């Protein structure tokens, strides 16, 4: 029984590597103070990932290090998912930006396990922002709904402020990948709509990875879905569930979300078996597993069989949202490089 308990505990930390008692080891790394509450993006402490400092996004799984050749001519603007999941909203509807424990939790979960996917495709920037509490997605009363909408607006304003600062001080005309997951994708969609869709900046868009949230077919005017592995200037989206499972909220959607198969990247090949899965990064960052899942598109979502990894007997969830990116870690990593190469070729940009 004890052995089973610890296996379940490990699985509960799936992809978020360190449980809360481990985060305290890193708390002293974040001594900065936000006196006004407004992020100061000239201060590197207000970036979870930035090329001017070492951070977990710089990490490379051990098997991939030998052939690691990072590209510094392209930038990746990564918007991380929700890590503030306290149901009691102890810190309020929005997380403060200077909470050391929460920042450490963010850095050694999503920044390490998701943002690092893109560290070979370009320089990774990921701003800290006053993220909305997880339960903002699940309002119960009208008052809750008003608070939730305000929380998402505040979070987006931070992301927008960071992006504007990035464009003014760091971009210098480089091509851009927008990468995001979950709440990050909620804000990523708005960012693309405001700054890229039909705008001059769209010419600099390598691709937008908007993972873990639905993407309406008509959300963008000019940005099209990515329908082939090397297509650029386009948007990518999927949500991962166990084969045959379609949650009620998906069934109630008034549209069929755009879905990209991360094993094929080809709209004409909506299904692929496990052999196409080149490597997942799950419980142990330095020990990727191959052929973890298959993938097939089904009516607005991505279906997979139950993931194969040590201890999966205790993993009973049918919603694989937390693993949307990590199940396809190496496939995404290689695809980002492929799109960068295609973008460079199209515009005659030298490496």
- Within a domain: residue 186? yes
Using CA atoms, how far residue 198 sits from 214, 215, 233, 339, in Å, is: 21, 17, 11, 20
Q: Please report the beta strands in 80-173, taking only residues with DSSP state E, as ranges in sequence order.
A: 123-127
Alpha-carbon span 293 to 281, nearest angstrom: 12
Alpha-carbon span 133 to 212, nearest angstrom: 16
- Within a domain: residue 202? yes
- Within a domain: residue 351? no
Q: What is the DSSP letter of 314?
A: G
- Within a domain: residue 219? yes
Q: Could you read off the pLDDT tens digit of each residue along the chain, which spans 351 residues?
A: 333 333 333 344 444 343 333 333 333 344 444 456 679 999 999 999 999 999 999 999 999 999 999 999 999 999 999 999 999 999 999 999 999 999 999 999 999 999 999 999 999 999 999 999 999 999 999 999 999 999 999 999 999 999 999 999 999 999 999 999 999 999 999 999 999 999 999 999 999 999 999 999 999 999 999 999 999 999 999 999 999 999 999 999 999 999 999 999 999 999 999 999 999 999 899 999 999 999 999 999 999 999 998 777 878 899 999 999 999 999 999 999 999 999 999 876 665
Name the residue among 37, 48, 181, 139 with its Cα closest to residue 102: 48
Name the residue among 46, 64, 4 with its Cα closest to residue 334: 64
- Within a domain: residue 64? yes
Q: How many domains does the chain have?
A: 1
Domain that holds residue 299: 2-346
Alpha-carbon span 151 to 132, nearest angstrom: 5
pLDDT at 192: 98
pLDDT at 21: 37
Under 8 Å between Cβ of 57 and 111 = yes
What number of other Cβ atoms are within 10 A of residue 23's Cβ? 19
- Within a domain: residue 303? yes
Strand partners, 280: 289
């Amino acid at each position: 029984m004890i052995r089973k308990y610890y296996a379940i505990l490990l699985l509960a930390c799936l992809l978020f590597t360190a449980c809360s008692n481990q985060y305290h080891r890193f708390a002293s790394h974040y001594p900065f103070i936000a006196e006004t509450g407004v992020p100061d993006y000239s201060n590197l402490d207000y970036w979870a990932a930035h090329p001017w400092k070492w951070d977990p996004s710089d990490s490379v799984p051990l098997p991939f290090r030998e052939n690691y050749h990072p590209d510094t001519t392209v930038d990746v603007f990564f918007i991380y998912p929700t890590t503030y999941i306290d149901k009691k909203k102890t810190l309020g509807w929005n997380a403060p930006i200077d909470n050391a424990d929460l920042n450490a939790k963010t850095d050694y979960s999503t920044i390490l396990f998701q943002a690092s996917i893109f560290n070979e495709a370009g320089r990774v920037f990921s701003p800290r922002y006053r993220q909305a509490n997880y339960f903002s997605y699940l309002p119960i009363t009208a008052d809750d709904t008003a608070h939730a909408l305000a929380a998402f607006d505040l979070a987006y304003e931070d992301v927008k402020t960071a992006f504007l600062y990035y464009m003014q001080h760091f971009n210098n005309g480089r091509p851009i990948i927008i990468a995001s997951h979950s709440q990050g994708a909620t804000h990523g969609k708005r960012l693309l709509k405001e700054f890229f869709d039909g705008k001059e900046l769209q010419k600099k868009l390598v691709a937008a990875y908007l993972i873990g949230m639905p993407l309406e077919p008509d959300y963008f005017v000019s940005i099209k879905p990515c329908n082939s592995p090397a297509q650029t200037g386009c948007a990518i989206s999927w949500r991962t569930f166990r084969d045959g499972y379609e949650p009620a909220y998906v069934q109630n959607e008034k549209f069929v979300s755009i879905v990209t198969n991360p094993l094929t990247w080809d709209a004409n090949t909506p299904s692929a078996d496990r052999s196409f899965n080149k490597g997942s990064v799950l419980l142990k960052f330095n020990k990727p597993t191959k052929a973890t899942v298959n993938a097939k598109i089904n009516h607005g979502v991505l279906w997979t069989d139950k993931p194969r990894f040590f201890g999966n007997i205790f993993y009973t969830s049918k919603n694989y949202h937390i693993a949307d990116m990590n199940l396809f870690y190496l496939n995404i990593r290689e695809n980002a490089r492929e799109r960068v190469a295609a973008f460079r070729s199209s515009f005659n940009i030298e490496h």
